[in-house]
């Protein structure tokens, strides 16, 4: 079945540092890929997505590129802020085969210090 693997956390950075959170996936079809973010005490919200190979999703300074050849969707941000402290989830979904069900990675806790 489909699966998503995220880099082990937690990740602790200083403000303005560069962020990379690795994500790789296994899927039989042609999934869409997502990054969701969960701020403390809240539900998940979509950060960015990409629906086909070589697409780049971007939002709030975060970027991720759908790499079919390496089955990856790594999240990057050039300069993190304290307000970026949250849990980040990589996920995939194939509307054609799974009715939009999301398969999640285990999540990566990011803490940014001033």
Partner 1 sequence: NAGVTQTPKFQVLKTGQSMTLQCAQDMNHNSMYWYRQDPGMGLRLIYYSASEGTTDKGEVPNGYNVSRLNKREFSLRLESAAPSQTSVYFCASTGVTETQYFGPGTRLLVL
Asked if 17 touches partner 1 (CB under 8 A), the answer is no
> Residue 54 in 3-state DSSP?
coil
Among 27, 49, 62, 80, binds partner 1 (CB under 8 A): 49
Q: Which two tokens stand for residue 35?
A: 């990054």
Task: Say whether residue 43 binds partner 1 (CB under 8 A).
Answer: yes
Q: Which is nearer to partner 1, 17 or 104 (CB)?
A: 104
Query: Edge-to-edge, what's the strand order for the sheet holding 62-65?
Result: 19-21, 75-77, 62-65, 56-59
Residue 104 as a binder of partner 1 (CB under 8 A): the answer is yes
| Alpha carbon distance 94, 97 (integer Å) | 6
Q: Is 74 in the site for partner 1 (CB under 8 A)?
A: no
- Residue 3 found at the interface with partner 1 (CB under 8 A): no
């Amino acid at each position: 079945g489909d699966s998503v693997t995220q880099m082990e956390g937690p990740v602790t950075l200083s403000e303005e540092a560069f962020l990379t959170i690795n994500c790789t996936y296994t899927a039989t079809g042609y999934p869409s890929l997502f990054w969701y973010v969960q701020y403390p005490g809240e539900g998940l919200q979509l950060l960015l997505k990409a629906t086909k190979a070589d697409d780049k999703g971007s939002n709030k300074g975060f970027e991720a590129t759908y790499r079919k050849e390496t089955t990856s969707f790594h999240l990057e941000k050039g300069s993190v802020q304290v307000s970026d402290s949250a849990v980040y989830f990589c996920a995939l979904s194939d509307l054609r085969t799974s009715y939009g069900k999301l398969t999640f990675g285990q999540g990566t806790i990011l803490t940014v210090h001033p």
